[in-house]
A and B are shown apart, each in its own frame.
Chain A
Amino acid sequence: MSLNQRLSRLREQIPMVSPSEAQRRQRAGAALIDVREADEIAQGMAEGAQPLGRGYLEIRIAEAVPDDDQPVLVICGSSTRSLLAADDLKKLGYRDVGVVEGGFNQWKDEGLPVVAPERADADARQRYARQMVLPEVGEAGQAKLGKARVLLIGAGGLGSPAALYLAGAGVGTLGLVDHDRVDRSNLHRQVLHRDDRVGWPKTQSARATIEALNPRVAVQIHDLRLNSGNVDSLFSGYDIVVDGSDNFPTRYLVNDACLKLGLVCIYGAVQGFEGQVSVFPAGGRPCYRCLFSEPPPAQFAPSCNEAGVIGIVPGLIGLLQAMEVIKQVLGIGESLAGRLLLFDGRDTRMRELKLAADPACAYCRPGAKFPGYVDYVQFCGSRTADAHRAGPDDELASHG
């Protein structure tokens, strides 16, 4: 059978609908699938269409339209490829498949709404090819990553793997807060740094590594100690905060600031062979204080130097934090909000626990007025156990 004969037969079998009717049906719940090539789609596509392309149609359709009873309308440039694609979809089991008559050209001629999809340049298409091919990412997702602004608290054990992989994934802006300098004892886990940079400010060492990996990323360094006086202005330039700090005062400050400013906090903490990771969503519920309402007294908080850690543990936990960031930016999957993941490296065990909001949480309960920041006395290695209300000059360590 020649192509023309096959198309003639398909025209008899598959309903053709006008662009305006397709728009009406799409608004009523039908999926509009654009099967044109990426170069054509880059010139514009029908508003609300899903750009799956002809080549990946069979692979991607189940993600885009999981219910084979959902009506599907296929659109291409005129309506030739869409007829062939619609035939394939019927063979895959989709029951209600139609074709947009005249395709995108007629859609435009009728003055229906057109959108210009985000377009990656040649470097980005090559650099991010292996993740852009995923239907969850694509050009649109890559554009979202490029616009994301992520602040990493600490360029240490957790911040290092998180920063490296977020940079690799193409997160557009990475902020790094750390006031510390690279020490040789950091290098077994803080893989952003190198032996020949011992003594450098961690932020500068981190920037050099990230820019060498991916020069497209804008690295903003904040070589300072985080405190209640600077946290608001610092956080307000970002969408997501990754908590990789190494002390309780900073963790509570990060949580409280994220709640106040409506930012997502991606939490990670490690000690020895064990790690914890969770997500405290924008607006809290649950937040870090729902989990642990107050820091431990100094005698129960081991010194940062004494506690020790196997370098792989922050490596794993930092990568899980990076994964949560990517999911958050792309709006995919199920976040760790409301769940606490525990990792035990000795037995290679992951355990998931349910977290619930504390109805009495002073910081995130509905209608609660923000109580203000608390600068706990620096007690990692200190003998002081008391907390006190912050003055603007009180400083806290913020490095990882």
Chain B
Amino acid sequence: MCTVPIVIDFFSACHRKLRYEPPLRRYAKMQQATSPTKIRIELPEALRPLADGAACVNGRGFTVAEVLTDIGHSHPPLVNRILTRGGGLRPHVKLFVNQSDIRQRDGLETRLVESDVLLVVPSVAGG
């Protein structure tokens, strides 16, 4: 049972600029974090109907997987479009922490700090 409140951001919080954070500063923040970090997840247009039309949602967790689990409590269909039933990342979806593919870090176990933005990029076929 999740007791952490989840904030759905409909407005300005979705438009903060992605920032590069030096690894040492990130590491220091990770060491300091004692409670799950609040992370903003930006959604593509295709997935917004699964988040009540919101361009982004906020979740809490120390890692990408934990944040997605947290979001899953309020938006199960949204997370179902990102993760398989087994909890793996779907092959037609990419997750980026700021500008970097989580695959280049530690995948779903990538540790997050409060300034991070999690970006969902689905495959799109239209032409």
**Are A and B associated in one complex?**
yes
Chain A positions within 8 Å of B, measured between CB atoms, are: 154, 156-159, 243-248, 251, 268-274, 276, 291-296, 300-302, 304, 307, 309, 314, 340, 342, 346-347, 349, 351-356, 358, 380, 400
CB distance from A356 to the nearest CB of B (A): 5
Once bound together, how far apart are the Cα atoms of A389 and B104, in whole Å?
31
Residues of B103-122 contacting chain A, CB below 8 A: 103-104, 119, 121-122
Contact residue among A248, A269, A354 (Cβ-Cβ distance under 8 Å from B100)? A354
CB of B81 within 8 A of CB of A268, answer no
Once bound together, how far apart are the Cα atoms of A346 and B55, in whole Å?
11
CB of A307 within 8 A of CB of B126, answer yes
Q: Which of B27-35, B57-65, B86-94 contacts A (4 or more CB under 8 A)?
A: B86-94
Once bound together, how far apart are the Cα atoms of A168 and B94, in whole Å?
36
Report the 10 A-B pairs with minimum CB-CB distance, sorted nearest first.
Answer: A400-B127, A296-B92, A246-B127, A292-B123, A294-B91, A293-B91, A272-B45, A269-B124, A271-B126, A244-B127
CB of B123 within 8 A of CB of A248, answer yes
CB distance from A384 to the nearest CB of B (A): 16
- Which of B93, B94, B121, B127 has the most C-beta atoms of chain A within 10 angstroms of its own C-beta? B127
- Which of B93, B119, B125 has the most C-beta atoms of chain A within 10 angstroms of its own C-beta? B125
**A245 to chain B: which residues have CB within 8 Å?**
125, 127
> Closest B-chain residue to A248, C-beta based?
B125
CB of B99 within 8 A of CB of A354, answer yes
CB of B121 within 8 A of CB of A342, answer yes
CB of B15 within 8 A of CB of A296, answer no
Once bound together, how far apart are the Cα atoms of A292 and B103, in whole Å?
12
> Closest B-chain residue to A291, C-beta based?
B94
Contact residue among B46, B91, B103, B104 (Cβ-Cβ distance under 8 Å from A271)? B46
User: Does B76 touch A at the CB level, under 8 Å?
Assistant: no
Check A304/B91 contact, CB under 8 A, given A347-B15, A351-B18.
no
What would 14 more interface pairs be, CB under 8 Å, given A269-B124, A271-B46, A274-B124? Answer: A158-B127, A244-B127, A246-B125, A251-B125, A270-B124, A270-B126, A271-B124, A272-B45, A295-B123, A296-B123, A301-B125, A353-B101, A354-B100, A400-B127
CB of B101 within 8 A of CB of A314, answer no
CB distance from A283 to the nearest CB of B (A): 20
CB of A246 within 8 A of CB of B122, answer no
**B125 to chain A: which residues have CB within 8 Å?**
245-248, 251, 269, 271, 295, 301, 304, 380
CB of A269 within 8 A of CB of B127, answer yes
CB of B81 within 8 A of CB of A300, answer yes
CB of A154 within 8 A of CB of B94, answer no
CB of B92 within 8 A of CB of A274, answer no
> Could you show 23 A-B contacts with beta carbons less than 8 Å apart?
A156-B127, A158-B127, A159-B127, A269-B125, A269-B126, A270-B124, A271-B126, A273-B45, A274-B124, A291-B123, A292-B92, A293-B92, A296-B90, A304-B125, A340-B121, A342-B121, A346-B45, A351-B119, A353-B101, A353-B119, A354-B101, A356-B104, A400-B127
CB distance from A93 to the nearest CB of B (A): 35
CB of A314 within 8 A of CB of B127, answer yes
Check A304/B126 contact, CB under 8 A, given A291-B94, A352-B99, A353-B96.
yes
CB distance from B84 to the nearest CB of A (A): 11
**A294 to chain B: which residues have CB within 8 Å?**
91-92
**B44 to chain A: which residues have CB within 8 Å?**
274
Contact residue among A157, A342, A353, A355 (Cβ-Cβ distance under 8 Å from B126)? A157
Check A355/B101 contact, CB under 8 A, given A245-B127, A342-B121.
yes
> Closest B-chain residue to A358, C-beta based?
B103
**B15 to chain A: which residues have CB within 8 Å?**
347, 349
**A309 to chain B: which residues have CB within 8 Å?**
126
Once bound together, how far apart are the Cα atoms of A297 and B102, in whole Å?
22
**A296 to chain B: which residues have CB within 8 Å?**
90, 92, 122-123
Once bound together, how far apart are the Cα atoms of A355 and B103, in whole Å?
10
Once bound together, how far apart are the Cα atoms of A72 and B121, in whole Å?
49
Once bound together, how far apart are the Cα atoms of A263 and B45, in whole Å?
31
> Closest A-chain residue to B48, C-beta based?
A272
CB of A270 within 8 A of CB of B103, answer no
CB distance from A324 to the nearest CB of B (A): 16
Once bound together, how far apart are the Cα atoms of A272 and B81, in whole Å?
18
> Closest B-chain residue to A339, C-beta based?
B99
Once bound together, how far apart are the Cα atoms of A11 and B125, in whole Å?
66
**A347 to chain B: which residues have CB within 8 Å?**
15
Once bound together, how far apart are the Cα atoms of A272 and B44, in whole Å?
10
CB distance from A88 to the nearest CB of B (A): 42
CB distance from A342 to the nearest CB of B (A): 7
Once bound together, how far apart are the Cα atoms of A363 and B40, in whole Å?
34
Once bound together, how far apart are the Cα atoms of A14 and B104, in whole Å?
55
**B103 to chain A: which residues have CB within 8 Å?**
356, 358
- Which of B92, B96, B100 has the most C-beta atoms of chain A within 10 angstroms of its own C-beta? B92
Check A272/B46 contact, CB under 8 A, given A244-B127, A353-B96, A356-B104.
yes
